[in-house]
Amino acid sequence: MDSKGIINIELLFCTLIIILLLIIIFPMINQNINSNLEIDEDSQGRFLLGHISNSINEVNSKENGFNKQIQMPESINGNYYSILVKSNELIIEFNGKKGKSNINPIKIVDANNKTIENVQLFNGRSYLIKKTLINDNKTHTINQSPIEIRQIE
């Protein structure tokens, strides 16, 4: 064999090794990229829940009549989402996932001061969170305050 033939065989062998390494490494790189995107998406959802729970807790800790406005983002990484506000927790749902955040216990009321179980918040909308008084003779659970959460037009 001459030296050109040996160089061509070595080049072919090196090329095959590089192709095999790329075939093995590419799925791992792709998986890491997807994991990073998912972590970013999850952290955006957690950040949003934290912001809303802090807003509700802030209103809950203030005097009657105190209110705060929140603006929901249009999406979480391009995904539609909704948030369910219950008496002691928030639940976010998006892209087939659920997340929860605890809040101080509250009594949720509607615009007519009637107690309701929960409030659904949707993406891209503005909401007013307001601490209210209930004008009835019923006893209230200790450490619960009536909070009205309504959409602002």
Each residue of 88-108: pLDDT tens digit? 999 999 888 888 999 998 999
What is the span of the domain harbouring residue 127? Answer: 3-152
pTM above 0.75, yes or no: no
Tokens for 146, please give them: 């009536």
| Least confident residue range of 1-5, 24-28, 109-113 | 1-5
Tokens for 122, please give them: 């949707």
- The closest alpha carbon to 76, from 117, 119, 121, belongs to 121
Domain count, the chain: 1
CB atoms within 10 A of CB 35: 10
- The closest alpha carbon to 49, from 93, 9, 111, belongs to 93
